Structure 1
Amino acid sequence: MSAVESFTRAQVRERYPEWKVRMLNEVAEQLSKHDVFLVVDLTKTPANVVHKFRKKYRKELEYIRTLKNNIVRKAFEKSNIELPKEMDEALTGTNLFIATDENPFLVALKISKFSVPGYPKPGDIAETEIVIPAMDTGLKPGPMLSTFGKLKIKTMVKGGTIHIAKDTVVAKPGDVISPELVSVLMTLGITPVEIKLKLKGAYIKSLGRWVPASELLLDIESYKKELMEAYLNALKLGAEIAYPVPEVLELSLTKAMQNALKLAVESAWLTKESAPYLMSKAQAQAYALASQLGDLAKELGIEISNIQATQPVSTTQEKEEQKEEEEEEKKEVSEEDLSAGLGALFG
């Protein structure tokens, strides 16, 4: 072996360490085996969150690993797969990569629902209200009293330890988290933050395209609502045209029954079902006729309860409105109603 050859191979070994070559082959193999390759942003994500995610889903998701972005790029090149421009732009910072054949929308849903309780960092913006509850902190009086004082947390020393006197709101949504607050939360073991993983998107090999997270994360509740509305609208339309399927026929028959009953009442067709409605209509017409007869009703020996007398009228304006309504009702009583009313009264 010449000195030149030896030098060249040494350069290659130095440029491409063995672990990088193994990793490159591993990623290329995953790309060839699976259809979906997801990228998750790990910026500012504690290592324990990634560990818990991997532990929870290692049996469901075939491959979960933190990789160097350039190794992923070279794996695409090695596999003769064109790296989409959008994915190339997403390969920045620290990322977690997931290779699977599972539905990418379901995987995205799992990622969005996964969270681990944690502590905020100084300078973070509070997303929800943070409350320090009343408690015995177990802390001995000392410098911590000053920190509590800065956060306007009322304390008292009791039994040799610091007690928080009452529940205290120490941050509202939009507030900047101070170092003092982080210190108190960590000392007391209060984890008010839900640390989540942020999905960047997924490369779907069968489609040959990169799908961003905005298209993968579905609003399930919104879709449920839309499907329910569509189903109800379909039922209404089906009932209108009497579409012959079991779900619709039940509604169509109910509607037909209601229409038949309405027609029977309008045409005074007496049946077991229409009788109560006809009696109610006749009674209403009888009251209307009696109000038209006035004093003549008493002379004819017709007794009718004065329903309006039982309804209290509190103001002069209400009395006038009631009078106007009565006059309108009198005008609306037709000859047909009068005849029907007389028939109901005198048989």
Structure 2
Amino acid sequence: MSWKKDTVSDLVGLLKSGDTIAVIDIHGVPAGAMIGMRATLRDSMKIQVAKKQLMRLAWQQVGNDSENLETLFEGVVQPALVSSSSMNSFEMFSELKKTEAGRAAKPGDIAPHEIVVEKMDTGMPPGPIVGDLNSVGIPAKIMGGSVQIQKRTVVLQEGDVFEGEMGMMLSKIGINPIVTGLRLCGTLEGGTVFAPSTLDLDLEQFESDLIGYAAGAFNLACNITWFTSQTMPTLIAKASGEALAVALEAAVATADTIPHLIGRANMSAMGVAGSLSPEALDDELSSMLGAVATAAAAAPADVAEDASEAPTEAEEEEEEDEGAGFGGLGDLFG
């Protein structure tokens, strides 16, 4: 039984070669497809098929917890060990997920989930297919020159066994529910076992959620004045703005407030001067009030002028186009 010792030795080397260890199920994967998948994944992970007992022996030799291996074996029909030194558990799951593809169900296959046929136009021409679909419980009818499914129908529940022609009929309408590929059954990384359900993440949604949570945490930290390297610039800017507002209200003269205070005093003075009789104002103040009034009147005048010029320009363009058109006719008739 030297081949068994060699296999165990190879498995021990595989288990020691990577930080992320996994068990996959290769049941139902054709030999040719398996060769292609291994070649594709060779650069990122090592895969070795062996009997469970030999895997247990290798697992014990490297000192791993046997309970973790039995957890990874749950639901496995034909196991293989996987090791990677360059991928974490999530990356490995994502990479192995790419090998999965649907196939038509055969008699004896187990429905992996509820099989639902939606109401639809199959696009198939009229023919015996109508009777075949109805014979397996899929309500079909010829309408508008094609075969149509009349209503949404649940044909199998999760765990039901495919019988007869059901799998073939579902395949004809584009439903291939049996997934084949290198199915990840779980990983062991850093002493922690990760189930497939934990690793199956929508990465785009995860990234969006993470950004949202970070923004919420930042806002909360700023609102409760929690000082960190991230919140300090915002908190300092907020405090500076609030301090400036208080200083202006209290008329505290500083290098930062004096320009604002002078501007505010000037506006107040102009307001008071505008309410007085012209005879009470000196020449300088009258000149300043006149400049303010002129500037205020000029703004709406400019807007009105721009609006009035727009149709004029359009009319000029239209006249130019008409002139060009008549000139062309004159040239045509000599």
TM-score of Structure 1 vs Structure 2, range by shorter chain:
0.5 to 0.7
**1:1-347, aligned counterparts within 5 Å?**
16=1, 19-42=3-26, 45-47=28-30, 53-61=37-45, 63-77=46-60, 79=61, 81-88=63-70, 90-91=72-73, 93-105=77-89, 106-111=91-96, 115-120=100-105, 124=111, 126-127=113-114, 129-131=116-118, 133-137=120-124, 141-142=127-128, 144-149=129-134, 150-155=137-142, 163-165=146-148, 169-171=152-154, 179=163, 180-191=165-176, 198-204=183-189, 207=190, 209=191, 211-213=193-195, 217=199, 219=201, 221=205, 225=209, 228-230=212-214, 232-234=216-218, 236-237=220-221, 241=225, 243=227, 248-250=232-234, 252-254=236-238, 256-257=240-241, 260-261=244-245, 264=248, 271=260
Confirm or deny: 8 A CA contact 1:126 1:172 kept in the other structure.
Answer: no
- Structure 2: how far apart are the matches of 1:52 and 1:164? 38
Closer, same or farther in 2 for the Cα pair 1:46/1:261, shift >3 Å? same
| 1:186-226 superposed Cα distances (whole Å, 9 cap, x missing partner) | 2345436666754333345xx5x462426962755458635
What 5-or-longer segments of structure 2 have no aligned partner? 252-256, 269-334
Confirm or deny: 8 A CA contact 1:120 1:177 kept in the other structure.
Answer: no
- Structure 1: how far apart are the matches of 2:239 and 2:53? 67
- Structure 2: how far apart are the matches of 1:192 and 1:132? 18
What is the Cα deviation at residue 98 of structure 1? 0.6
Confirm or deny: 8 A CA contact 1:131 1:168 kept in the other structure.
Answer: yes
RMSD of aligned C-alpha atoms? 4.8
What 5-or-longer segments of structure 1 have no aligned partner? 1-15, 280-347
Confirm or deny: 8 A CA contact 1:36 1:101 kept in the other structure.
Answer: yes
- Indicate the SS of the match to 1:38: strand
Closer, same or farther in 2 for the Cα pair 1:127/1:260, shift >3 Å? farther
- Structure 1: how far apart are the matches of 2:174 and 2:71? 39
- Structure 2: how far apart are the matches of 1:218 and 1:126? 17
> Structure 2: which amino acid aligns with 1:81?
G
- Structure 2: how far apart are the matches of 1:34 and 1:242? 42
What is the Cα deviation at residue 152 of structure 1? 0.8
- Structure 1: how far apart are the matches of 2:161 and 2:247? 71
Confirm or deny: 8 A CA contact 1:111 1:199 kept in the other structure.
Answer: yes
- Structure 2: how far apart are the matches of 1:200 and 1:86? 12
Q: What is residue 321 of structure 1 aligned with on the other side?
A: none
What is the Cα deviation at residue 231 of structure 1? 5.2
- Indicate the SS of the match to 1:191: coil
**Percent of residue pairs identical:** 12
TM-score (norm 1): 0.52
- Structure 2: how far apart are the matches of 1:87 and 1:197? 18
> Structure 2: which amino acid aligns with 1:141?
G
> Structure 2: which amino acid aligns with 1:169?
R
- Structure 2: how far apart are the matches of 1:118 and 1:235? 49
What is the Cα deviation at residue 109 of structure 1? 4.1
Q: What is residue 331 of structure 1 aligned with on the other side?
A: none
Closer, same or farther in 2 for the Cα pair 1:237/1:86, shift >3 Å? closer
- Structure 2: how far apart are the matches of 1:52 and 1:167? 41
How many pairs does the alignment contain? 250
Closer, same or farther in 2 for the Cα pair 1:67/1:233, shift >3 Å? same
Closer, same or farther in 2 for the Cα pair 1:165/1:30, shift >3 Å? closer
- Structure 2: how far apart are the matches of 1:126 and 1:82? 34
> Structure 1: which amino acid aligns with 2:67?
K
- Indicate the SS of the match to 1:171: strand
TM-score (norm 2): 0.54
- Structure 2: how far apart are the matches of 1:251 and 1:109? 41
- Structure 1: how far apart are the matches of 2:177 and 2:261? 67
